[in-house]
Amino acid sequence: MTIEDGEAQLGKVSDIELWIGDYDYIFSDFDSRPYSERLLSEDLLSEMNRVSKDKKSEEVEVQFLIPNDKRDPKREVVIKKRLKDQFRINLKNLKETKKKMLRQGLLFVLFGVVFMFIATFFLTRGDGNYLITFLSVISEPAGWFLFWEGLNLLIFDIKKKVPDLDFYEKMSKAKINFADTNPVKQTQNAL
């Protein structure tokens, strides 16, 4: 490999490149389990999320840059699998959460409309019965509350509670690679 080949390879930049001092940067400091089971670092996930915001899901490639003397291909295979598995699990959980919120929001809207119909029915009866008036007074605010709360769930809360859905969608499809922090310098030393 020539110096030009190394520079050309550097010109092909990954969508997300993150420098790590060693493999432990990827995982939580508090988790002592093996790499195949460890929790991912919140700092790493936050940084990946921030950097991936403007990337299209089918284009994302994550490249961890690590010093050559700290690399271990066997560990990299385990870590790649762990990352992909965790991204898929998180995506699945967020999709289930979104589905539950959609269902709950639609039920709230539906019950809100039902209570409004009940209130309208009681108001149009107009026979002056205290029980009917009481049921009308109870049904109307319940209908409005459920209707607007359901719309709030459907429009705003889903975005607040599952903001990372796009991130995990991208990361579950992303290519994950490890590379030396300075391939050009190593190439020059080889010449």
Boundaries of domain holding 137? 3-190
Low-confidence spans in the chain with pLDDT less than 50? 1-13, 185-191
- C-beta separation of 16 from 48 below 8 A: yes
Q: What is the pTM of this model?
A: 0.74
Residue 37 burial by Cβ neighbours in a 10 Å radius (0-12, 13-18, 19+): exposed
Residue closest to 186 by CA, chosen among 6, 20, 10: 6
**Distance of alpha carbon 104 from alpha carbon 149, whole angstroms:** 10
Report pLDDT digits (tens) over 174-189. 899 998 876 554 444 4
**Distance of alpha carbon 82 from alpha carbon 61, whole angstroms:** 16
Query: What domain count does the chain have?
Result: 1
DSSP three-state, residue 77: helix
**Distance of alpha carbon 85 from alpha carbon 131, whole angstroms:** 58
**Residue 151 token pair:** 């719309």
In this prediction, residue 64 carries a pLDDT of 92
| Residue 162, H or E segment | none
DSSP code, position 12: S
**Distance of alpha carbon 168 from alpha carbon 70, whole angstroms:** 28
In this prediction, residue 50 carries a pLDDT of 87
